[in-house]
């Protein structure tokens, strides 16, 4: 039987990465699901991907701007993520890193 390397990589990724999503959390999803799903992935896997909170929020805003009705709403969603998203971002950070943040060893965006 021949091994399928792509399938093996997908299987490993599913074990390591968190693909869960809650859409646009408490905001109306409108037609922004793809943008919010990517944003959730970035938040939930930041300890692996290294993406900063700022970059994840900015990429979500840019994605929403390209969607129908998104030109102006993108800024509102971005602001919501900046103001309310810090807890969700750090909730998916490994415990040791989270403790160092809470312990005052540094501020992260």
Q: Is residue 100 part of a domain?
A: no
Give the pLDDT of residue 91.
73
CA distance 35 to 70: 11
- Confidence category of residue 99, pLDDT binned at 50, 70, 90: very low
Give the pLDDT of residue 101.
43
Q: Is residue 24 part of a domain?
A: no
Domain boundaries, position 56? 31-94
Cα 92 off chain centre by: 10
Q: Is residue 23 part of a domain?
A: no
Q: Is residue 56 part of a domain?
A: yes
pLDDT in tens, 55-81: 999 999 999 999 988 999 999 999 999
Nearest to residue 60, comparing CAs of 32, 46, 39?
Answer: 39
What is the total count of domains within the chain? 1
- Confidence category of residue 48, pLDDT binned at 50, 70, 90: confident
Nearest to residue 47, comparing CAs of 100, 81, 90, 2?
Answer: 90
Q: Is residue 21 part of a domain?
A: no
Give the pLDDT of residue 89.
83
pTM to 2 decimal places: 0.69
CA distance 62 to 51: 16
């Amino acid at each position: 039987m021949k091994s399928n390397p792509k399938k093996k990589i997908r299987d490993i990724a599913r074990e390591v990465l968190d693909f869960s999503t809650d859409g646009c959390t408490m905001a109306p999803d409108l037609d922004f699901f793809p943008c919010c799903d990517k944003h959730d992935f970035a938040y939930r896997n930041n300890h692996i991907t290294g993406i900063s909170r700022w970059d994840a929020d900015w990429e979500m805003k840019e994605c929403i701007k390209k969607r129908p009705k998104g030109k102006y709403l993108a800024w509102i969603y971005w602001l919501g993520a900046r103001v309310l998203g810090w807890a969700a971002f750090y909730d998916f950070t490994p415990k040791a890193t989270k403790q160092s943040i809470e312990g005052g060893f540094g501020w992260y965006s």
